[in-house]
Amino acid sequence: MSNHEILDFDLLVGRSAPFRGFGEVVEDSRRIEVEFHKDVDQVRRQIRDTFGARLEEPSSTPKELDNIIRELWQTGWDPRVGNLQLFARDLGLLLTEATLVLLKGTLIPRSTSNLIHWSIFWATERVEAFPFHKALKCLTHSDGETMTYCVRGLGHQLDMRRENGS
C-alpha cells in the first residue's frame, strides 16, 4: 500500500477493537513503548536544534508542529523530493506523544520497524486515531490539514462519545 492510499484515513469511530487492516497489533509492546519514548526524546532534541521549536508542553506541541510544517511549505517543501518518510516519522512521534499525554488512550503498535500505521485507541469511546497518518497528510497537503485541529477535534470527538455513552 502506498502512502497516498492512506492520506484520508486518520480517524476511525465506532469500532470495538483496533483496526486490523494495517497488520496485527504487537501484543507484548512494553519494549516497543520504551523504544518509542527514547525515539521521541531524540527527535525532540533534533527538532529543537533544527527548527528552534521549544516542544516543552504537550498542549503547545501540535501548534509548534504546525508552525514547522508551515515553515517547510514556505521555504519550498516538495513532498515528492523531500524526505517525506523521515519527517512523517519524526513529526508523527511528537504528535503521538502529545496526544497520549493530553487525551490518554492506548498506544497500538503494529510493527517494530514501521511506525506509519501505529495508532492510539480509546476502547470505551470506540475511537482510534492515526497520528502518523495525520503527519503524512500535513506534509503532503499544503492547506487544510493541521495537527492542532486534529488533537482538538479528537478531544471533542472523545467528549461527545463519553456524553452519549459511545
- Has residue 51 been placed in a domain? yes
pLDDT (0 to 100) of residue 166: 66
What are the start-end ranges of the E strands in the chain? 11-13, 106-108, 119-122, 127-129
Dmax over CA atoms of the chain, in Å, equals: 46
Which residues in the chain land under pLDDT 50? Answer: 1-7
pLDDT (0 to 100) of residue 64: 98
- Please identify which residue in the block is written with the cell numbers 533544527: 50
pTM of the model: 0.93
Q: Tell me if residue 137 falls in helix, strand or coil.
A: helix
Using CA atoms, how far apart are residues 125 and 132, in angstroms rounded to an integer?
21
Using CA atoms, how far apart are residues 79 and 142, in angstroms rounded to an integer?
10
pLDDT (0 to 100) of residue 29: 82
Residue 122 CB-density burial (10 A; 0-12 exposed, 13-18 middle, 19+ buried): buried
List b or e across 124-155, with b for residues whose CB sees 16 or more CB atoms inside 10 angstroms. Answer: ebebbbbbbbbbbbbbbeeeebbbeebbeebe
- Has residue 143 been placed in a domain? yes
- Has residue 111 been placed in a domain? yes
- Has residue 101 been placed in a domain? yes
- Has residue 118 been placed in a domain? yes
- Has residue 1 been placed in a domain? no
- Has residue 14 been placed in a domain? no
pLDDT (0 to 100) of residue 3: 41
- Has residue 150 been placed in a domain? yes
Residues 6+ apart with CB under 8 A from 59: 98, 102
**Residues 122 and 158 sit within 8 Å (Cβ to Cβ):** yes
Which residue range forms the structural domain that includes residue 158?
27-163
Q: How many domains does the chain have?
A: 1
